[in-house]
Amino acid sequence: MPSKRTTLPLAAAAVAVAAVLIFVVAKEPHYNVRPGAQSGNAHCGRMTENAPAKLAGHPKHATKLAGVALWGDSNIVLRCGVAGIGPTSDPCFSADGVDWVIDTARSTDTQKVITTYGRTPATEVTVTHASKTPDEVLGELSALITPIAQTSQCIRSQ
């Protein structure tokens, strides 16, 4: 039977380790972010691997979630492999050759949810008021998206 001298320090160490793990999990920037259904697609792996180390002044955080890249405290979240968008009346614009649609049902004054249009797998970017406007952030991310073939457009070139 272990003595009280060894049991008490072991119990204290176990509590300390548990407290650190809870703190780390609670502080993870990907907390409450789910990967897209097609996040295992090779395009998604390439995209997250080549995502910029800094975006809109926010550092990129490492995550083990497939097809997900995060900057800041989830100020900017990229999720590759989400469901594509069909015809919609939501606002659409182009940033550096990539068509994007603003999901008006999920966006607010302080957060915009924007999804690529006409590319499979689709990519969703959520921007919570960053130092740059969402279209500037998307301009920086468009180079990651362009290798995915565009099959339809929501904005016609003039």
- pLDDT, one tens digit per residue, over 14-35 is 444 444 344 444 444 445 889 9
Residue 15 lies in a domain: no
Residue 29 lies in a domain: no
Residue 53 lies in a domain: yes
Residue 49 lies in a domain: yes
Domain hosting residue 58, numbered range? 42-146
Residue 72 lies in a domain: yes
Average confidence (pLDDT) over 83-103: 92
Number of domains comprising the chain: 1
Question: Which residues is 123 bridged to in the sheet?
Answer: 80
* pLDDT tens column, 107-130: 998 899 999 999 999 999 999 875
